[in-house]
Amino acid sequence: MGVLIDSNALIAAERGLLNVAAKVEGRKDDEFFISVVTASELLHGVWRAKDAKMRAQRAAFVEGILERFPVLPIELAVARTHAQLWAELEAKGSPIGAHDLWLAASCVALGHALITRNVREFKRVPGLRVEEW
């Protein structure tokens, strides 16, 4: 099964709150990915660092993530699913964050599960399998 990892789980790992390697290691039948959106969020964190030392530490962590997990692009099928989910969630009055919507659309379109620490927001997305880490 394909599994997409949300940036909040990776940030928790960077802060020492989660051992991603241990979580992934026990799941030999799953293929783990990050989204291009997640890559951007993590890289944004590098550029927001308050000093050079913090920037270097974050950059090393992020580059390790980018080497470890394949990065999924946003393809047309994902864009179509994104547009549909966006319209449906807005019509229900329960939209989710713009970046989170791209992650959800990627998972729904590609049949992947989503690993996140933000279950509350993602549980509103129909057809999305969510796993909390």
Please count the other Cβ atoms lying within 10 Å of the Cβ belonging to residue 17: 11
| DSSP 8-state class, residue 17 | S
Nearest to 34 by CA among 63, 76, 77: 63
Q: What is the mean pLDDT of residues 60-72?
A: 97
State yes or no: pLDDT of 85 exceeds 90: yes
* pLDDT tens digits, one per residue of 6-25: 999 999 999 999 999 999 99
Which is the CATH superfamily of the domain at 2-132?
5'-nuclease (3.40.50.1010)
Domain range summary for the chain, segments of one domain joined by +: 2-132
* Token pair in block for residue 38: 């997640």
State yes or no: pLDDT of 116 exceeds 90: yes
Q: What is the mean pLDDT of residues 70-91?
A: 98
Residue 26, pLDDT score:
83
Q: What is the mean pLDDT of residues 116-121?
A: 94
* Token pair in block for residue 102: 């791209």
Looking at every residue in the chain, the average pLDDT score rounds to 96
Please count the other Cβ atoms lying within 10 Å of the Cβ belonging to residue 40: 14
* Token pair in block for residue 128: 């999305």
Q: What is the mean pLDDT of residues 124-132?
A: 96
The rounded distance, in Å, linking the Cα atoms of 58 and 49 is 8
- Amino acid letter, 13: A
> Which residues pair with residue 71 across a beta bridge?
34
Residue 4, pLDDT score:
98
Query: What's the distance, CA 69 to chain centroid?
Result: 11
| DSSP 8-state class, residue 50 | S
> For the chain, what's the residue count?
133
* Token pair in block for residue 52: 């050079």
* pLDDT tens digits, one per residue of 104-114: 999 999 999 99
* pLDDT tens digits, one per residue of 32-59: 999 999 999 999 999 999 999 999 999 9
